[in-house]
Amino acid sequence: MAFKWKESFAIGDADIDAQHQRLFVLAHEFSEATGKAAQAHCAAQLFDYTREHFGHEEALMAATGYPEMEAHVAQHKHLIARLSEVSDRVANDSLSPEDLNKFLAAWLVGHIVTFDTKLVSAVGKLKARQQPG
């Protein structure tokens, strides 16, 4: 499965959109990787960048007092745990391409559409309220 960024995935925050685009590139590379060593390398890259990206989002949430931060961070923790499981399955040769693609598609698109869109909308409103006017 090809993981290609579409403009319809953009949520309106330039930094987060750029990070999401990078996640799509890493997911695509992972989905195309063949062999245990290549898959393990791609999984590690995706894991590291995901943690960096989630850290950026969580800092934004904390700085703006995002009211749904607890639920969003819980989702991040769940996704990191799932990504760790995927890495374990790569290590023991039990990850099928279909399972990998389902996970990556559900995570990338599902999380962006469900959680990150709400985050950017709320953060924009919070920032607007904090502006002196």
The whole-model pTM stands at 0.87
Q: Give per-residue pLDDT as tens, 56-89.
A: 999 989 988 888 999 999 999 999 999 999 999 9
The two structure tokens encoding residue 92? 């023991």
Q: What is the CATH number of the domain that holds 109?
A: 1.20.120.50
Number of domains in the chain: 1
Copy the structure tokens of residue 106: 């559900």
In a domain, 45, yes or no: yes
- Within 65-130, residue ranges assigned H as helices are 69-91, 97-111, 117-130
Structural domain of residue 91, as residue ranges? 13-130
The per-residue pLDDT for 108 is: 86
Q: Which amino acid, one-letter code, is at 103?
A: F
pLDDT at 133: 56
The percent helix, strand, coil of the chain (3-state, each to 5) is 80, 0, 20
Say what the pLDDT of residue 46 is: 93
Nearest to 2 by CA among 35, 24, 20: 24
Q: Give the span between the Cα atoms of 63 and 48, in whole angstroms.
A: 23
Query: How far apart, in Å, are the Cα atoms of 56 and each of 5, 53, 60, 91?
Result: 20, 5, 6, 28
Does any domain span residue 2? no
For residue 36, being part of any structural domain is answered with yes
Asked whether residue 7 is assigned to any structural domain, the reply reads no
Instruction: Return per-residue pLDDT of the chain as tens, 133 residues.
Output: 567 888 888 888 889 999 999 999 999 999 999 988 999 999 999 999 999 999 999 998 998 888 899 999 999 999 999 999 999 999 998 988 888 888 888 888 888 888 888 888 877 776 677 666 5
